Structure 1
Amino acid sequence: MNRNKTILALVLATMIVAANAIAFSNKATPDFEEAELAAKGPAWIRINQLGYTPTGIKVAVWGSKSKGKLKRFELVDASTGKVVFKGKAGQAFGAYGPFQESYRLNFTEFNKPGTYYLQAGEAKSPEFRIDADVYEGTADFALRYMRQQRSGFNPFLKDSCHTQDGYTMYGPMPDSTIIDVSGGWHDASDYLQYATTSANATYHLLAAYRDFPGVFTDKHQANGLEGTNGVADVLDEAKWGLEWLLKLHPREDWLFNQLADDRDHQGMRLPTNDPVDYGMGGGGPRPVYFASGEPQGLGKYKNRATGVASIAGKFTSAFGLAAQIYSTKDQNLSNLFGQKAQSAYKLGLAKPGVAQTAPNRAPYFYEEDNWVDDMQLGAAALYQLTGKQEFFKQAYDYGLQEKVTPWMGADTARHYQWYPFHNFGHFELAKKSDDKTKAELIGFYKEGIEKVYAKAKKNAFYRGVPFIWCSNNLTTSFAIQNFLYRQLSGDQTYAELEQANIDWLFGVNPWGTSMVYGLPAHGDTPTDPHSAFTRLNKYPIDGGLVDGPVYGSIFNNLQHLKLYNEDAYAEFQSKLAVYHDDFGDYSTNEPTMDGTASLIYLLASKEYSSREGSQVKK
């Protein structure tokens, strides 16, 4: 089972019930009274388990199962037991999820490095650090999961897999023509491979390398094995994605969209021991789908594809950015990527519309419904590469057609309906625009942020992202959009909202858990994800971002879902949202390749900002 397995029955609960107040906190005067609680009851303090930077925003969330009011909180030095900061809890946010009352505990003005915990009434938080290095090495850590997802040769297993891929379908060549499309990344805990997610992941890795120089180390070779090769590991990983994309676009008029299909869903097994028969013998070639621009599906079900532009735009942006990066490293390779970017873009122009993934045995697929954002980013990359005004104009015109990514402000969406979950295109175009156009593009980002903030400011977690499948991916993307907006505008209005989405991923959520396997090492993180690596062999999947919580209404309507262990977070589940650290919950606890790639960009931004400055490389 994977993200595509069971996505129907999206009869959703009301999103958020909250009070209409915004918390504030201030440093206490010397005669400040001890923390007080008007009514007793079980309560918890949720903190970012990675820690907080001295100059950054520092907020925890207090939640209680009673309606008692919190007045004050204290920050305590863990080594001495001394109270070092006292703050007002501020205004109550009311009920949210499993909690009857909730507050934001803001201690931003305290900036002394050290190890601390928060105390409020009877509630005590886990210990956490305040230091400039709390994000150090986190982006590199998440790269471990990307290497583990490699197909063709898997460096984690030190063995090859899926080397016979694949045979063509829907193309201008005879069906079942054998071509070499081995390589790339497996999509999640199954072994399907999608150009849609892979091209987006590749772009994020390339952008992370470009924007945050010095963050990434060189501890692995190009094949993913340990060793150095003079290349940052993130660029090695991006190149692994690029090499697969080149195989999917071998000629100017050929573009492939997908490798394998839902016949993959035949139980847990390691990729190096994959016996699934796609009609060419067990373990043989898998089908590779040509991007025809028309509905596809080899079995009972078909998608609703209308064109090629959504996938062609993603190819264009990845190749276009790669051409820019390799222009100072390998001119021949740069030229190749540049040629591929332009030929992919022409295919998008010729067939506007969406190229959705293809189902087979079940009616589930990535239901992408937008494509102008992909073409905008592709055109922006070509403008940066060539300087041709025609690409700038086309990118701008595409941007006007989708100013805001449509999920922002909505309570629900179909699976991957609006993808990517944020649009890099506005950012890339704004960097090369005149003041008027730049302000307009910045305004598009602000409009989307405001739509989410309108919901977020009503609850203590600043949660405005809907609890649909892969909610953690949306959370990561929304944090990135906030970051890009702040870089372009210099406006700090939404800095706390940006940090709240990052904090959510690392423990400031109702369950008090990090959503990234093994990060931080000392924290409460997933231990039983929906993954063959952990289930069969207890192999760690370090750095993998799991899908994240879903609405209770979604979870209650899922098919073929069974929890295998007692729910460690039972008291924090609610009608609003559920999350289970359980192998059986493929809806909330399955790691995703593309979500992890986006997280790498986000974590790199945090590490770079905290140690080298607050602006990305222009």
Structure 2
Amino acid sequence: MKTDATARTVHSPRRSALAVAAVFAVTAVLATAPMASRAAADERKTTVSVTLPTDPLLVQLNQVALERSGPKRAVVESTGAAQAGRYRVLSGDRTVAEGELKPLPDFSAWGAGKRYFEADFSSVQTAGVYRVEATLDGRRVLSAPVRVRDQALFATTADKLLDYFRRSRHTGKGDRRIRIFETDRFVDVHGGWKDAGGDTGKYLSHLGYANFFNPQQTSMAAWVLAYTADASADLYRRAGLLKRAQDEAFWGADYLHRILDAEGYFYTTVFDKWGAEGAERMVVGYEGDDGRYTKLYRSAYRAGGGMAIAALARASLLAKQSGRHGSVDGKTYLADAIKGFDHLQQFNAQYTANGVENIIDDYTALMAAVELFNATKESRFLDAARTRADSLMRRQAADGRFISDGGTRPYYHAVEAGLPALSLGHYLDIETDDARRGHATTVIKAALQHEVDITRRVSNPFGYARQSFQLAKDGKADGPVLEGFFIPHKNETGYWWQGESARLLSLSTAMAVAGRKVSPALPADWAAFAQDQVDWTLGKNPYGISMLYGFGKRNPPTVASSAGDMFAGGISNGITGAVGSDAGEGIAFGPGPDDEQWRWVEQWIPHSTWMLLAATSMARSR
């Protein structure tokens, strides 16, 4: 999410003196203005600058959990001239595997002067805790430890991921009576989750004014919790987490029930300009880095409405299956979902910023229709799903990538790039027509192969998922289609770019779910791609940082002033292209100044949402 730098400089309302802590070496510079009083001392600015490690030899790997029977690869970085080296995999002091390091192609996009090697220890398939030792030019270095086991990601992280949602609940009483923008109406919209560590706003989505950047936020979290608590009940039960997962799912569904207007639309945002002094908290739309209030508060499919419908429909199934529910019963959840769907089928385009549906409307409406069919078995919802699936599949280009609009703008998304393929994977679950199933299967295969192909098109030692995009001119994507690692900074939003932890995890999930529905024996390059994105988030990146707080050897620094609370199980936004690069070239993590640190350090609900879905999906596929 985004800070209002003018009003507060930060998401968090706290502007006291800052305690900046990190579990790894960072540069901290404290600049203090002349102080005439204690209050002046509280206005000190703290800058945390995180730079790339300069060690002559490093081993970067997933620091948290690796699947016993899955890919296991470490990247060795060297500043020396060595052309070859060796590695050992250690369990305590015992060597369990060893071999020659594999030299990787030259790579200088994130800085010159390094050579890269790979240590592939996928053959290690005994549960345990391991380190990778690399030796080059007489130098020897040991990696952080990583646990290897069955259902590794879920077993290791699910407890804290659920705890993150619990601790992110919005429990204040103020939202029981707030005003709808430019009206005299007051509504009860209490509950839900705070959007980010330093942001107490509640969002089904934001960035709607830019048309192609809407992320699925609260409603996606509600759906993932309801879906996994229902479809993966045995997984949660064996871990002793089922009731907690159900409770959190119903907490989310109850909030969606409250923000469904009597007319049938969902309120997009509960917002107060990031807590700016004097700003009224209300149901309102907003745009830009100054949080200008707008009338865009009725959620289109792409602005969270579609996933809200999907979440309520799945919550109704969860209530039926579990015999439990939240503040309203399962029949009410389903009635809400149908009401919202029928309304958006008629008015969706009117609720978009430009009056034209795009790819995000397609895949979110598809998810809504699929879940309504699952809950009701009514043929009209299968018909609606077919219509949306057809529209989505027509947007695929010859090379497998998707097009966002009716023209040539490539689909690129910093949060949910895997959701188009994932939605088609869920559509396959309800489609009975062989021709339609065949078409969807072909589209999914091409889409997933494109992700692998574009990622491998250039030297890429970490396997970071690349993307195609256009730069923005006068608020619209324009010019040649480019390719790169990170989201372009010069995009249609005018200001919004940040780390892409959720995007990476969405792609891993798409491979695990949609990939196995079209190819049960997942191709090795698909499996490696899926694991690479999880690995990056959990520490196999050039900074050696696990973005999942409380897990791994190194975590992001605590920057309370611009990132707010940091909870175990929360995931920081992550690594970006270099500051000042329109196309997002180069690399950066937390370079400062402090009022910009939200881009990298702040925990945001979509990241943990996608991690939980990835963890359950990968566990179920084993």
Partner of 2:528: 496
| CA deviation after TM superposition for structure 1 residue 169, in Å | 2.2
Determine if contact 2:300/2:344 at 8 Å carries over to the other structure. Answer: yes
Partner of 1:92: 105
| CA deviation after TM superposition for structure 1 residue 353, in Å | 2.9
Counterpart amino acid of residue 46 in structure 1: Q
Which whole-Å CA distance do the structure 1 matches of 2:337 and 2:122 have between them?
45
Partner of 2:301: 309
Which whole-Å CA distance do the structure 1 matches of 2:145 and 2:414 have between them?
37
| CA deviation after TM superposition for structure 1 residue 290, in Å | 8.3
Q: Partner of 1:112: helix, strand, or coil?
A: coil
Which whole-Å CA distance do the structure 1 matches of 2:184 and 2:411 have between them?
39
1:183/1:515 CA distance change after superposition, 3 Å:
same
Which whole-Å CA distance do the structure 2 matches of 1:504 and 1:298 have between them?
32
Which whole-Å CA distance do the structure 2 matches of 1:177 and 1:342 have between them?
24
Partner of 1:240: 251
| CA deviation after TM superposition for structure 1 residue 605, in Å | 3.1
| CA deviation after TM superposition for structure 1 residue 501, in Å | 0.7
| CA deviation after TM superposition for structure 1 residue 234, in Å | 1.5
Q: Do residues 322 (structure 1) and 315 (structure 2) align?
A: yes
Residues 136-151 of structure 1 correspond to what in structure 2 (within 5 A)? Answer: 136-151=155-170
Partner of 1:251: 262
Determine if contact 1:44/1:125 at 8 Å carries over to the other structure. Answer: yes
| CA deviation after TM superposition for structure 1 residue 89, in Å | 1.1
Which whole-Å CA distance do the structure 1 matches of 2:367 and 2:541 have between them?
33
Which whole-Å CA distance do the structure 1 matches of 2:417 and 2:72 have between them?
31
Residues 503-514 of structure 1 correspond to what in structure 2 (within 5 A)? Answer: 503-514=535-546
1:388/1:467 CA distance change after superposition, 3 Å:
same
Q: Do residues 580 (structure 1) and 575 (structure 2) align?
A: no
Partner of 1:36: none
Which whole-Å CA distance do the structure 2 matches of 1:451 and 1:514 have between them?
27
Task: Write the deviation string for residues 576-608 of structure 1: whole angstroms up to 9, x where unpaired.
Answer: 1111287651111111012211211112334x3
Counterpart amino acid of residue 216 in structure 1: Y
Determine if contact 1:257/1:357 at 8 Å carries over to the other structure. Answer: no
Which whole-Å CA distance do the structure 2 matches of 1:413 and 1:53 have between them?
29
Partner of 1:344: 340
Aligned CA-pair RMSD: 3.8
Residues 255-334 of structure 1 correspond to what in structure 2 (within 5 A)? Answer: 255-262=266-273, 264-266=274-276, 276-279=277-280, 286-289=281-284, 302=294, 308-310=300-302, 311-328=304-321, 329-330=323-324, 333-334=329-330
Determine if contact 1:194/1:257 at 8 Å carries over to the other structure. Answer: yes
Q: Which moved more, 1:51-60 or 1:471-480?
A: 51-60
Q: Partner of 2:461: helix, strand, or coil?
A: coil
Q: Partner of 1:187: helix, strand, or coil?
A: coil
Q: 2:179 aligns with which of 162, 167, 173?
A: 167
Partner of 1:467: 486
| CA deviation after TM superposition for structure 1 residue 472, in Å | 0.8
Q: Structure 1: state its 5+ residue gaps.
A: 7-40, 154-159, 220-227, 267-275, 280-285, 359-366, 559-573
1:177/1:456 CA distance change after superposition, 3 Å:
same
Q: 1:176 aligns with which of 177, 184, 190?
A: 184
| CA deviation after TM superposition for structure 1 residue 575, in Å | 5.4
Determine if contact 2:300/2:348 at 8 Å carries over to the other structure. Answer: yes
Residues 194-233 of structure 1 correspond to what in structure 2 (within 5 A)? Answer: 194-196=203-205, 197-216=217-236, 232-233=243-244
**What is the percentage of aligned positions where both structures have the same residue?**
16
Partner of 1:427: 425
Q: Partner of 2:67: helix, strand, or coil?
A: coil
1:476/1:60 CA distance change after superposition, 3 Å:
same
1:317/1:134 CA distance change after superposition, 3 Å:
closer
| CA deviation after TM superposition for structure 1 residue 309, in Å | 3.2
| CA deviation after TM superposition for structure 1 residue 303, in Å | 8.1
| CA deviation after TM superposition for structure 1 residue 206, in Å | 1.4
Q: 1:69 aligns with which of 70, 83, 88?
A: 83
Q: Which moved more, 1:53-62 or 1:329-338?
A: 329-338
Which whole-Å CA distance do the structure 2 matches of 1:470 and 1:91 have between them?
25
TM-score (norm 2): 0.72
Determine if contact 2:570/2:604 at 8 Å carries over to the other structure. Answer: yes
Which whole-Å CA distance do the structure 2 matches of 1:88 and 1:415 have between them?
33
Q: Partner of 2:309: helix, strand, or coil?
A: helix
1:5/1:443 CA distance change after superposition, 3 Å:
farther
Partner of 1:46: 60
Counterpart amino acid of residue 462 in structure 1: G
Partner of 1:270: none
| CA deviation after TM superposition for structure 1 residue 407, in Å | 8.3
Which whole-Å CA distance do the structure 2 matches of 1:103 and 1:389 have between them?
54
TM-score (norm 1): 0.72
The total of aligned residue pairs comes to: 505
1:90/1:43 CA distance change after superposition, 3 Å:
same
Which whole-Å CA distance do the structure 1 matches of 2:245 and 2:351 have between them?
28
Partner of 1:448: 447
Which whole-Å CA distance do the structure 1 matches of 2:289 and 2:410 have between them?
30
Task: Write the deviation string for residues 496-525 of structure 1: whole angstroms up to 9, x where unpaired.
Answer: 1111111111111111110111123xx211
Which whole-Å CA distance do the structure 2 matches of 1:232 and 1:300 have between them?
40
Structure 1 segments, 4+ long, off by >6 Å, are: 3-6, 295-299, 303-307, 407-412
